[in-house]
Amino acid sequence: MSEPAGMETERIVVEEEKEAVALIQQREQETTPTENATTCLPRSPVKSKTLTKQIRILLTPVSATCGEHNKHLPQKRLLEQFSSCEESFGKEPKAKKICSDYSSPETRAISHGVSEVVSNTDSHRCGSVVEAVSSDLETDGDSESDRNDEEVSTQLSAYERKRLKNITENAKFFASLKLFESAASLRNMTARVQSPKIQRIKHSKAKTETTCRRSMRLQKVDPLSIPLPEAQAQPEPSVDEYVKPKVIETPTCNLESYQAHLHKMVLREDCVAKVVRNRIHSVAIHPSESRTLVAAGDKWGQIGLWDLDSGLEDGVHTFVPHSQPVSCMYFSLSNPAHLLSVSHDGTLRRGDVTRAVFDEVYRNEEDNLSSFDFLAADASTLIVGTWDGEVAVVDQRTPGVSAELFVELNSKKTRTIHTNPLSRHYFVAAGAGDVAIYDVRHLKASGSKPVVSLAGHTKSVASAYFSPVTGNRVLTTCADDTLRIFETTCISSSVPVLTTIRHNNYTGRWLTRFRAIWDPKRDDCFVVGSMSRPRQIEAFHATGDLVHSFLSEVYLGSVCSINAWHPTRYILAGGNSSGRLHVFKE
Per the domain annotation, does 543 fall within a domain?
yes
Say how many domains are in the chain.
2
Q: Which long-range contacts (CB under 8 A, 24 or more apart) does 441-444 make?
A: 443/391, 443/393, 443/405, 443/407, 444/407
pLDDT tens track, the chain, 586 positions: 445 555 555 566 567 667 777 777 776 665 544 444 433 344 444 444 434 444 444 444 444 444 444 444 444 444 444 444 444 434 444 433 333 443 444 444 444 444 443 344 444 343 333 333 334 434 444 455 555 555 555 678 888 888 888 988 888 887 777 766 777 776 776 555 555 555 555 555 555 454 555 555 555 555 555 554 554 444 443 333 333 333 344 444 689 999 999 999 999 999 999 999 999 999 999 999 999 999 999 999 999 999 999 876 778 999 999 999 999 999 998 999 999 999 999 999 999 988 889 999 999 999 999 999 999 989 999 999 999 999 999 999 999 999 999 999 988 889 999 999 999 999 999 988 889 999 999 998 877 899 999 999 999 999 999 999 999 999 999 999 999 999 999 887 789 999 999 999 999 999 999 999 999 999 999 999 999 999 999 999 999 999 999 999 999 999 999 999 999 999 999 999 999 999 999 9
pLDDT of res. 92? 42
CA 542 to chain CA centroid, nearest Å: 59
Which residues, listed in sequence order, are joined to residue 317 by a DSSP beta bridge? Answer: 305
CA 389 to chain CA centroid, nearest Å: 49
- Cβ–Cβ under 8 Å, residues 404 and 359: no
Nearest to 516 by CA among 580, 557, 437, 462: 462
The answer to whether residues 166 and 285 belong to one domain is: no
Nearest to 270 by CA among 311, 227, 330: 311
544 dihedral zone (left: phi>0; alpha: psi -120 to 50; beta)? left
Per the domain annotation, does 212 fall within a domain?
no
Per the domain annotation, does 580 fall within a domain?
yes
Per the domain annotation, does 509 fall within a domain?
yes
**Residue that is last in its domain, among 177, 210, 240:** 177
* Nearby residues of 351 by Cβ (< 8 Å), 6 or more positions away: 303, 319, 321, 338, 339, 340, 341, 357, 358, 359
pLDDT of res. 198? 55
- Coil, strand, or helix at residue 100? helix
pLDDT of res. 176? 77
The answer to whether residues 291 and 415 belong to one domain is: yes
Task: Say what the pTM is.
Answer: 0.59
The answer to whether residues 280 and 154 belong to one domain is: no
The answer to whether residues 311 and 455 belong to one domain is: yes
Per the domain annotation, does 217 fall within a domain?
no
Q: Is 313 exposed, middle or buried (0-12, 13-18, 19+ CB in 10 A)?
A: exposed
Q: How far apart are CA 430 and CA 439, in angstroms?
A: 15
**Residue that is last in its domain, among 129, 149, 177:** 177
The answer to whether residues 581 and 467 belong to one domain is: yes
- Cβ–Cβ under 8 Å, residues 282 and 327: yes
Domain range enclosing 68:
5-177
Give buried/exposed letters for 77-102 (b at 16+ CB in 10 A, else e): ebbeebeeebeeeeeebebeebeeeb
The answer to whether residues 310 and 438 belong to one domain is: yes
pLDDT of res. 436? 95
Q: How far apart are CA 441 and CA 426, in angstroms?
A: 9
Give buried/exposed letters for 10-32 (b at 16+ CB in 10 A, else e): beebeeebeeebeebbeeeeeee
Q: How far apart are CA 516 and CA 574, in angstroms?
A: 12
**Residue that is last in its domain, among 177, 194, 220:** 177
Question: How many other CB atoms are there within 10 angstroms of residue 452's CB atom?
Answer: 20
Which residues, listed in sequence order, are joined to residue 272 by a DSSP beta bridge? Answer: 582
The answer to whether residues 415 and 521 belong to one domain is: yes
CATH of the domain at 367: 2.130.10.10
Per the domain annotation, does 290 fall within a domain?
yes
The answer to whether residues 160 and 288 belong to one domain is: no
- Coil, strand, or helix at residue 269? strand
pLDDT of res. 322? 97
- Cβ–Cβ under 8 Å, residues 292 and 284: no
Per the domain annotation, does 47 fall within a domain?
yes
Per the domain annotation, does 93 fall within a domain?
yes
